Amino acid sequence: MNRSRRLSTKLIYAFILTVFLVWSLFPLFWLAITALRPNLGPLQMGNPFVFSPSLDNFCSVLSGKNLLPYFLNSLIIGLVATFLSLFFGVLAAYGLARFNFRGRRLALQWILSIRLLPPIGFVVPLFIMFKALNMLDTPATLIIVYTAFLLPFSIWMLTTTIQEIPKESEEAALLDGNNHFQVLIKIVLPSLWPAMAAVALLNIVAAWNEFLFALVFTSKKAVTLPVAITAFLGDRGVYWGEISAAALLTAIVPVLLLLLVHKQLYRGFGHWGVK
């Protein structure tokens, strides 16, 4: 009796988990089989599960629709913005974590709060400024904006990490005559690498996926992948095969990065909730 009840509990449990597994994976699976399906016209459905797979759609978006430049734009903008946000972020985090000054705690809370403001509110003044500077549709514009918007999160994550590193060896190094900059490079950075890697990957994913600013500030030369994809949605009906291939190419980068970093990410979540 008891044993059969335990077995049925286990079965129900496994069943629920499977349902969630399907719920989570099915959309990506659907995207993949659509991308592998050749010659799908704008309004055709057909049988989505029976077809002979081919890479036609990928070839056509990469060569015919010329997705490659947008891919490069996304990559360059993401990498540079991530590098800059980490560079300034480490400096600021060290300052916030290690120097005593009034209002330090408030400064940290203030920085965190900025992350919660809706970005749409900044679009108009930014647009006016970049238009006046003749900087619309250049990668530099998006790099500057992304750096500014990635900074709060970077500073906050790095500060909480530095605060957890014991101070003693840094104080010893300072007494030995090193200045703060040397201490930062020689002692803090080596133990900060894992956190920096996690923040860097999250930042690059955020920059890679960003849509609103890219939509408003670019038109041709500096267009990034998400904006390029929406162009497929517009003209002459939707070619689902091609757009799925493009979407899959866009999705690959963040999903792979997430797989790389998910352990650190969980540690970060622990932080976040408790603090």
User: Is residue 27 a contact point for another protein (CB under 8 A)?
Assistant: yes
- Residues contacting 170, CB < 8 A, separation 6+: 98, 183, 187, 188
**Residue closer to another protein (CB basis): 145 or 187:** 145
User: Is residue 135 a contact point for another protein (CB under 8 A)?
Assistant: no
User: Is residue 273 a contact point for another protein (CB under 8 A)?
Assistant: yes
Segment near another protein (CB under 8 A); pick from 51-59, 65-73, 109-117, 135-143: 109-117
Question: How far from the centroid of its chain's Cα atoms is residue 20's Cα?
Answer: 24
- Residues contacting 243, CB < 8 A, separation 6+: 229, 232, 233
User: Is residue 124 a contact point for another protein (CB under 8 A)?
Assistant: yes
User: Is residue 94 a contact point for another protein (CB under 8 A)?
Assistant: yes
Closest C-alpha among 167, 147, 46, 38 to residue 92: 147
As measured in angstroms, the least distance from the Cβ of 77 to another protein is 14
Within residues 143-202, the interface with another protein by CB under 8 A covers: 145, 147-149, 151-152, 155, 180
**Residue closer to another protein (CB basis): 69 or 119:** 119
Within residues 5-24, the interface with another protein by CB under 8 A covers: 13-14, 16-17, 20-21, 23-24
| Token pair for 186 | 């020689």
Is residue 96 a contact partner of residue 107, using CB atoms and an 8 Å limit? yes
The single residue among 2, 109, 166, 168 that binds another protein, judged by CB under 8 A, is 109
Burial class (CB within 10 angstroms; exposed 0-12, middle 13-18, buried 19+) of 122: middle
